[in-house]
Amino acid sequence: GGEAEWQALRVACGRPFPDAELTREINPLEAGLYHTISFSKGCYLGQETVAKVNGAPAPKQRLLGVRLDGPALPGTALFADDDGGARAGVVTSMLSCGTGLVMIRSAVGTAGLRVRSAPDELGVVRRGTALEVPFASRSEAQSAGPREQVGVVAGGGTPAPSAVDAKALAAAADAAAAEGVRKAAKLVEMQARFEAFKAKTAKAGGGPPPAG
């Protein structure tokens, strides 16, 4: 194994990485790291910000996977692939096969959102779908055969050919399974809170104007 193999497994499992999904602009909860945060511990650096995000109906943005029809460099802007074309988020990690990690704005959509990339230097636009993570599943890993060629697209670089052992991918899927179930339940709860908040806001906005 090597760096490319490790990065491919990391993306498959939806694990955030420093300077990619772990930056000053991304709150740990937006990156799905609820299991790493204490909500009962005493004062610690960043506690107020974390508590604010946890108390909101939904985070401003959250980490999702994406499958595009080709690779897009990290930092590439993403837009909803519809008539509105709202700014949806940004690519944070990408493999040469077009599978990667993205930060998607909660106000625009969640898993299942069809997205398109900003044009690259050659004017190429990539299209695909935002997905829940982890990508890795034992059935997918086993159906891929003994080894599958993949590569990591580094910022400004070219795809680096590499190989990922399908057994390792299956093992990573097993390790992520329990965490994935817990995260999915939390995300369902957050989505419900967000929808309730939107409904309450819409109702408040549609009420009669104040007397005066």
- How sure is the predictor about 209, in pLDDT bands with cuts at 50, 70 and 90? low
Over residues 126-141, the pLDDT tens digits come to 999 999 988 744 444 3
Predicted local confidence at residue 68, as pLDDT: 96
Mean pLDDT is lowest, of 43-57, 90-104, 164-178, for 164-178
> Per-residue pLDDT for 156 more than 50?
no
Q: How far apart are CA 124 and CA 53, in angstroms?
A: 36
Query: How many CA atoms lie less than 13 Å away from 59 in the CB half-sphere?
Result: 25
Over residues 62-71, the pLDDT tens digits come to 999 999 999 9
